[in-house]
Structure 1
Amino acid sequence: MTVAIAVLAFAALTSASGARRAAHAAAQCSSSDTAPPNPANPLDTPGLTGTNPLAGAHLFVESPWLYGGDAADAIANEVGLGGLSNATSGTPIPWARFEARVNKMHLSRAKSFVVHELEKIGDYPQAHQFSRYTAGGSGPQIFTQVQNYLCRMQQTDPSAAAVITTYFVKHGSGCDGGDQPNFQAEVDNLKAAVGNFPALIFVEEDAIDTICWRNPAAVTGRAALLKYEIDQLSQLPHALLYVEGGTADANSPGAVAQVLNASDASKIRGFFLGDTHFNWASKEIKFGNKVSRLTGGLHFVVDTRADGNGPLLNPDPVTQGIEQLCNPSGRGLGPKPGASDGASYGMYSPHLDGFVWVTTPGESAAPTCPGHSTHYAASGIFDEGIAIGYASRANDRIGPSPRFKSRPW
């Protein structure tokens, strides 16, 4: 199929009027799931066996139509469909349908390589972040954004569970403790928007990783914020929750456990690790086991979006931190998202639920980085070059060779 024909085909799929899109943006999407909450199967996964709620879960994978997945949007732009994906009218389409059409197109070898690498990212569920920054700190705007996301899911994959991460805590505010403006309103509006929808929710990226530990008021203040969010979101009838639990190379298990215990984390499934670092998953699993023992057996998941080659270490860890975190070179995708107890990777943990992508693979840390001449996308924005680099070096392993077998994918 030529690009021109493909554009016409997709135009037929996206012929709804601008008025319809405006109505959709204001639509109230709700789930018809009225089943009572089932703590053993919070996502209502059909035929779930065993005790891992991620096993067999059907999680939402976003397509490019109307502000969808970052990798999907990049593919649409690469094959000449970016104008449609950014159009002011149209209807979302399923990722699988979009991918199948793209793969029928007659692309150059170079273009095919780019699409193939980006599909390694686009094929898997990634958390959609709802943030005080993307909504300007407004609770009602959070409600609208979450509803629009859920409407897309309802239209394109109604049997899927949403994948959401929150970022409502104000970071970079020094060592201040206590409450923060609009925080409760943002949490309340996200809770109201999700309602009865099944949803995998990662509570507060960076919430523990950025605590100012030398200030007791900051520690207790952060715990109080997390407690409020956990108390509220744990009331959602079909939500599976993990709260941020730091990283192995930046936190101590005892300190993390102290905050989790003070935050009522016992009300939810557990915690997630490694969302902003590039450490080996094996290191995070060891760390997670220690935290689990100190929190009454909480379960955990590990973010593996860019740890297939492990960390890039700083030459002066005392002043710069152990890892280079600003768009480090040579990193690759790690284990694919999904349920796992680690046994097939050579490190079994009874508390590990699986691997996830909380942070989008390819998301830039900053437009410029110390010691780099390269310019990147702004902080938090998808950078196609970073993403293709991750994908081209993808490795389904949790630690270095020879103990852990290298498995490029």
Structure 2
Amino acid sequence: MSVSPCVRRAGLTLPALALAFLLAAGCTSPGPATPPAARSDPPAAGAAPAPTPSAPVPYWVNPDGKAARQMAAHLAASRTAEAGLLRQIASRPVAEWIGTDRPEAETRALTEAATRARREALLVLYDIPHRDCGRHSAGGAADADAYRAWVDGVARGIGARRATVVLEPDAVTHVVDGCTEEQHRAERYELLGAAVRRLKQQPATTVYLDAGNAGWVGPSQLSGPLQEAGIAEADGFAVNVSNFQTTAASTAYGRQLSALVGGKPFVIDTSRNGNGPYAEGDPAQNWCNPPGRALGAPPTRSTGDPLVAAHLWIKRPGESDGECRGGPRAGEWFDEYALELTRNAR
């Protein structure tokens, strides 16, 4: 299951204490990369330079993210141990979940910041109408027209800059498992397909359509719906978003699904899967702030598998899944949980 994104702002000033701590610990801020190798076709105007083959993590690290802010707060209170733990999150690229109110301005600010740092923006679009079936992350666009306008705003905000977009966590799988009401299903497929096509009009945008996780709906059940939702026109699909399935299980699941949808590549969310899924208590709630979990493998494009395009931190580690197990509302910072994820990381 996925979580609601909070509305992100693209403030670019890292708190001074956190910056000093990152540098002292040997973690450089996301400065200019090595100039890219020459290419035969010039990049589109305004596009970010292509990363060099030697840069396995070309994505932007937001220096004003929640983890960086909380790390600065710990440093200001002389809690250096806690700050050191949060550096595991603050120093790595995590996805930016685009908010509902100012999609074009917000996306433009994020992609421009990434371009200035000679990096690529990693974005999540999560605003489909009737989102999350009224659960912890309920909401989304008011109707189909509002959603189309929102996606169009995001696309304009990306422009010709480099961006990877993960499109609508859970949206297809909630149709397949029956959670989304029948009267909304045909519209959902149409909106997803239209969103893929609109985003792919941008010359440097990569789109991955969400495809659930290894513990939910099987590949044979999902392949047809993904095709209805526009997977043929997308660059690939995303698995394990906001979930805890192991990388090995996610890879096996993705490879099975890929074989059913034309050999499409996929990305895996490894943000919190270091200890795999939680297997105690109510299975229906084991996706929501489960205890004992850990950060997973750091983001990289060097996965060792030609079908696995990247391991990414799509879910933002440290943000709550919802008001369960002592957590705040979905998308809000949950410091106790963030520290547990980092302590348990191997």
Provide TM-score, normalisation by structure 1.
0.67
1:256 to 217, 222, 238: 222
* Structure-to-structure mapping, 1:223-238, within 5 angstroms: 223-238=189-204
Aligned counterpart in structure 1 of residue 167 of structure 2, from 178, 197, 203: 203
Conservation of the 8 A alpha-carbon contact between 1:202 and 1:241: yes
Other-structure match for 2:83: 115
Q: State the distance in 1 between where 2:301 and 2:199 align.
A: 22
- Correspondence for 1:162: 121
Residue in structure 2 matching 1:282, options 241, 248, 255: 248
Q: Give CA deviations for 1:174-210 in whole Å, capped at 9, x if unaligned.
A: 7xxx963410000000001110111111111222232
* Alpha carbons 1:125, 1:357 under 8 Å: kept: yes
**Aligned partners of 1:376, 1:164: CA distance in 2, in Å?**
24
Distance 2:173 2:310 in 1: 21
| Residue 365 of structure 1: how far off its partner (Å) | 1.3
Task: Give the structure, 1 or 2, with the largest relative contact order (CA under 8 Å, sep 6 or more).
Answer: 2
Aligned-residue sequence identity (percent) comes to 25
Cα distance in 1 for partners of 2:213, 2:84 equals 31
| Aligned counterparts of 1:220 and 1:144: Cα–Cα separation in 2 | 30
Tell me what 2:43 maps to. 35
* Larger Rg computed on CA atoms: 1
* 2:70 maps to 1:71: no
Distance (Å, rounded) in 1 between the aligned partners of 2:56 and 2:221? 33
Letter in 1 for 2:205: A
Q: Structure 1: how far apart are the matches of 2:301 and 2:110? A: 24
Task: Give CA-to-partner distance per residue, 1:325-383, whole Å, 9 cap, x none.
Answer: 12111000011110133x4xxxxx4311121011100110123x2xx4xx322211121
Tell whether 2:322 aligns with 1:360: no
Distance 1:218 1:285, change over 3 A: farther
Aligned to 1:45: 50
CA-CA distance at 1:128 after TM superposition:
0.4
Per-residue deviation, 1:316: 5.0
**Does residue 1:390 correspond to 2:341, yes or no?**
yes
Q: CA RMSD of the aligned region, Å?
A: 2.7
Shift of 1:173: 4.4
SS in structure 2 at match of 1:202: strand
Instruction: For structure 1, list consecutive stretches of 5 or more residues without a partner in the other structure.
Output: 1-5, 11-32, 50-54, 81-106, 136-140, 344-348, 395-407
Question: Aligned-pair distance for 1:57?
Answer: 4.8
- Distance in 2 (CA, whole Å) between partners of 1:194 and 1:258 is 30
In 2, the alpha carbon distance for the partners of 1:213 and 1:151 equals: 38
**Structure-1 separation of matches of 2:220 and 2:262:** 13
State the secondary structure of the residue aligned to 1:79. Answer: helix
When the two structures are aligned, how many residues end up with a matched partner? Answer: 299
**Partner-residue secondary structure (3-state), 1:210:** helix
